Structure 1
């Protein structure tokens, strides 16, 4: 029997109402009809304070999303940033404050392997996502050990392996010295070099010096490296000590090795200029992002949009800062995750969406994607080698891909 128009309309309306009830928003602490509360700890002070600018960059991006897009799915993004001083105990204290007192939905893009490692057990116990954390340590790639963790940046071990492959290809017979930060960051560089050099590692590496983040300088280590006969130096060091090492090598008469520098320390404004442009010229690093001051990207749509964003929302920020560019790119990934989460703003669903991500951030070099799956938590699988010419970074050859 055919339903009459009135009855049919009533049935459709009832079904729609039932569907609307079934699709009611789901919220955990930190989410509501109007707002998503996001927490981050950052080194606003301490030995890694050069990277603390990311808080301002994230906040600027969220303001842009709120003003121009009305937020994500109609909800404004609000960032709460606390200073952890790059200290693990301080990171624990501030993370607990953000979760228990401020009630954030998730922790986002906090910097550092040691600090993120310190808060990991607590966040797992609370079932709070540690989303897109800012650490390239290989430890984050184990899905079973990291049920609530996802990383956002290239893996240090893979970068060092690529350095080794490039050294073998371009400088046969090289004598390599390594400056290693005495933590997981530095250890991953040594592990990567061992992967790249293989059984020849012990013959190729003629000097291996370490330092603590608390060390005031690395001058003594660089003097030992200079006396080793090395003609290649790999720096597994963050910004402050990387700049010191480059500057010291430039001061040692007759010592002009080929320097390989981790991408995290490749900021022109934060590392190379303080180290001295002359000493920095010729350094090789890797890139995943487009450098906004590179003429090669002058007409790129993504770079133009980024520069316009900085002019409007973060005019005091340095456009060429690697921290600002990575913050912008990672925020694009976050917005993609939150958009796909829809009205299910539970921590479990946010975590699920983060572990099913495939996106091309507009400031990533063409051909480099951000890809995470439940089984593979390594977000970056291609690296572009670059070399500093005294003013800008230039690409070298085709991207190296993870084996």
Structure 2
């Protein structure tokens, strides 16, 4: 591929879209959270916050088919807050220093279990945050709005969660699947002529990626979509789809697949067929250790993804202070490996830092004040964030982090690039 386009930071038009944790995890300092009202205003403190502690609830898949990413998300947040607690806690804007208690409940990626977790959380936690999954977060979104419970920094990929009118108690954390697809498509268009095969998950996850990609390439005369196939989440193999796509002779595959093991097998099948296209991988299935290494991805001419954070398995960041602090906290406070298999550990850690930053700005211990401060962050950088990315929560319809940076696999890690090569 000869793709030439200056690297840019693309602004999202929507929102993005975590093993060894028990089904319920409660970490930090003991303290009895009081429940004395003030859910959406007033000076009275809200449930889940005292003068010395604040409690955050996480509903995420800690078991089942999405347990790896789901637990990693929770563990990233736990590692961040336990490290802050060990330093003495977080000093809030009104002057009180509090430790942060994290309670994680397993929803098994099941909407009904997620709703049950919400019912357990709503009167005892200050906010629900950082949980992975669109259908599971959707399951209690309306209830959270009705009850005035913050449901924030979620990992859904669903633009609904950053629409201020429709979701006043919500905010998604990371760039949308739509924006990831669009950013890749725009750079592909700028590079010349290409034949593209498409494989996508047959649900909103895959549809969002395709929406973004197709919006960028639809009027481009140099881009030809040779074939478009889907798969179902329970599928155990993508061999049939890869075989059919390989037969088209495409030089690029747009691979909107959410399961790491299916991405590995798809790349291996392509090699067995001697089909070596350039791959675009979603940010959540682009890990070097769990995917690219076992897949033998270095035989492909190019593997691209979208990034906004440093990765611990990249030699370029071996001595980076942020990465060293992150891996130390993860090792000390969770059962994750020193180099996590999934990027969701980094995402949970970064999202937790945004919560911590919000706490530091709060002048009242209320949920209303929390939402006001959360939605007022601009130009902030979390630990692990790549240069060029930032937290900006002030724009309606966008997640907390909406900038995306194109990256290319160099055989050992990912490099931010100025042009597709």
| TM-score band w.r.t. shorter chain | 0.7 to 0.9
CA change 1:269–1:331 in 2 (3 A) is: same
State whether structure 2 residue 108 is matched by structure 1 residue 88. Answer: no
**SS of alignment partner, residue 370 of structure 1:** coil
Query: Within 5 Å, which residues of 2 pair with 1:123-134?
Result: 123-134=144-155
Once residues 79 and 201 of structure 1 are traced to their aligned partners in structure 2, the CA distance between those partners, rounded to angstroms, is: 51
Residue segments in structure 2 that go unaligned for 5+ positions in a row: 1-41
2:166 counterpart residue number = 145
2:184 counterpart residue number = 163
* 1:38 maps to which of 52, 56, 69: 56
Mapped contact 2:56–2:103 kept (Cα < 8 A): yes
2:35 counterpart residue number = none
Query: Within 5 Å, which residues of 2 pair with 1:299-338?
Result: 299-314=319-334, 316-319=336-339, 321-338=342-359
CA deviation after TM superposition for structure 1 residue 319, in Å: 3.0
User: CA offsets per residue over residues 43-99 of structure 1, 9 Å max, x none?
Assistant: 112222220222222222211111103344311111111111112222212222222
Mapped contact 1:281–1:390 kept (Cα < 8 A): no
Once residues 289 and 380 of structure 1 are traced to their aligned partners in structure 2, the CA distance between those partners, rounded to angstroms, is: 11
**SS of alignment partner, residue 122 of structure 2:** helix
* 1:247 maps to which of 268, 271, 275: 268
CA change 1:94–1:271 in 2 (3 A) is: farther
CA deviation after TM superposition for structure 1 residue 384, in Å: 1.8
**SS of alignment partner, residue 75 of structure 1:** strand
Mapped contact 1:84–1:91 kept (Cα < 8 A): yes
CA deviation after TM superposition for structure 1 residue 187, in Å: 0.9
Segment drifting more, 62-71 vs 390-399: 390-399
CA deviation after TM superposition for structure 1 residue 346, in Å: 1.6
1:180 counterpart residue number = 200
Mapped contact 1:26–1:345 kept (Cα < 8 A): yes
Once residues 203 and 308 of structure 1 are traced to their aligned partners in structure 2, the CA distance between those partners, rounded to angstroms, is: 45
Once residues 223 and 387 of structure 2 are traced to their aligned partners in structure 1, the CA distance between those partners, rounded to angstroms, is: 37
**SS of alignment partner, residue 234 of structure 2:** coil
CA deviation after TM superposition for structure 1 residue 390, in Å: 2.6
Once residues 216 and 295 of structure 1 are traced to their aligned partners in structure 2, the CA distance between those partners, rounded to angstroms, is: 33
Mapped contact 1:138–1:156 kept (Cα < 8 A): no
CA deviation after TM superposition for structure 1 residue 218, in Å: 2.0
Mapped contact 1:131–1:150 kept (Cα < 8 A): yes
**SS of alignment partner, residue 210 of structure 1:** strand
**SS of alignment partner, residue 123 of structure 1:** helix
1:57 counterpart residue number = 76
User: CA offsets per residue over residues 122-176 of structure 1, 9 Å max, x none?
Assistant: 2112111111111223333322111111011111111111111222223x22111
Mapped contact 2:197–2:252 kept (Cα < 8 A): yes
Once residues 131 and 382 of structure 1 are traced to their aligned partners in structure 2, the CA distance between those partners, rounded to angstroms, is: 18
1:75 counterpart residue number = 98
More helix by share: 1
State whether structure 2 residue 372 is matched by structure 1 residue 349. Answer: no
1:271 counterpart residue number = 291
Once residues 299 and 60 of structure 1 are traced to their aligned partners in structure 2, the CA distance between those partners, rounded to angstroms, is: 19
**SS of alignment partner, residue 349 of structure 1:** helix
Once residues 64 and 71 of structure 1 are traced to their aligned partners in structure 2, the CA distance between those partners, rounded to angstroms, is: 11
Mapped contact 2:153–2:400 kept (Cα < 8 A): no
Mapped contact 1:272–1:280 kept (Cα < 8 A): no
Mapped contact 1:65–1:72 kept (Cα < 8 A): no
CA change 1:217–1:202 in 2 (3 A) is: farther
Once residues 202 and 45 of structure 1 are traced to their aligned partners in structure 2, the CA distance between those partners, rounded to angstroms, is: 44
**SS of alignment partner, residue 284 of structure 1:** strand
2:245 counterpart residue number = 225
CA RMSD of aligned residues (A): 2.4
Mapped contact 1:319–1:325 kept (Cα < 8 A): no
Once residues 139 and 176 of structure 1 are traced to their aligned partners in structure 2, the CA distance between those partners, rounded to angstroms, is: 29
Mapped contact 1:179–1:234 kept (Cα < 8 A): yes
Once residues 301 and 87 of structure 2 are traced to their aligned partners in structure 1, the CA distance between those partners, rounded to angstroms, is: 41
2:213 counterpart residue number = 193
CA deviation after TM superposition for structure 1 residue 307, in Å: 3.8
Segment drifting more, 265-274 vs 354-363: 265-274
**SS of alignment partner, residue 179 of structure 1:** strand
Mapped contact 2:56–2:101 kept (Cα < 8 A): yes
State whether structure 2 residue 224 is matched by structure 1 residue 204. Answer: yes
Q: What is the TM-score normalised by the length of structure 2?
A: 0.81
**SS of alignment partner, residue 218 of structure 2:** helix
2:254 counterpart residue number = 234
Segment drifting more, 242-251 vs 383-392: 242-251
Once residues 264 and 149 of structure 1 are traced to their aligned partners in structure 2, the CA distance between those partners, rounded to angstroms, is: 21
